[in-house]
Chain A
């Protein structure tokens, strides 16, 4: 199928997708499941923004060692997102400050947003999917 055909049937439309991660890793399955969905979405060439706010910022902590609780350490997968053309990762300063975290504590490069910037980013999305 050519690109032209894809446009004709509507599948070539690019929407702005935001994945909003608000849960800490490991304690619930939300963080891991959210990451799986993001990886699936990468196959559809959409405009994806990945946001970590509230306890979600804990998902990006460096130095996780999950051997003791016998679960998969999926934090390294965040570093592979670049290879799937998912390069827009955001955290908000309010959530980071409330947890005593800085960018240096995180396993990937992120853009730190103010509340004002975060609310504008959310408002401009076509689709927001929350985990």
Chain B
């Protein structure tokens, strides 16, 4: 399954819920304000790093760039563009948007 999270981890609990309930081998795509979680020094950075053992973590590049965060992405997080977003949706049989 592809999990999509779009809210800041320091404002909403959707990232926590996603990481708690995603099965091993799932993909998690961070978009919009959720991309801050994948940046160095963020409060959620440790959670993302811990989750990388079981999950593949992606972040949307245009959303990182718009927020001045393109140069601060955590190691091991895969940055994708809109084409990559489409590929992720197509590659997975189902997806869950955490609103």
Residues of A within 8 A of B (CB): 23-28, 54-55, 58, 61-69, 71, 73, 75, 98-101, 105
Contacts and interface: CB of A to CB of B under 8 A. Distances in A.
Given A55-B10, A68-B61, A101-B41, A26 B36 contact: no
Contacts, number: 74
Q: Is the interface of A mostly helix, strand, loop or mixed?
A: loop
Interface of B: 6-8, 10-11, 32-33, 36, 39-43, 45, 61-63, 65-72, 81
B67 A26 contact: yes
A58 B66 CA distance: 11
Of the candidates B10, B36, B66, B71, the one having the most CB atoms from chain A within 10 angstroms of its own CB is: B66
A120 B18 CA distance: 38
A99 B69 contact: no
Nearest to A60: B68
B67 A25 contact: yes
Nearest to B71: A63
Contacts of B36: 24, 55, 58, 99
A100 B67 contact: no
A65 B69 contact: no
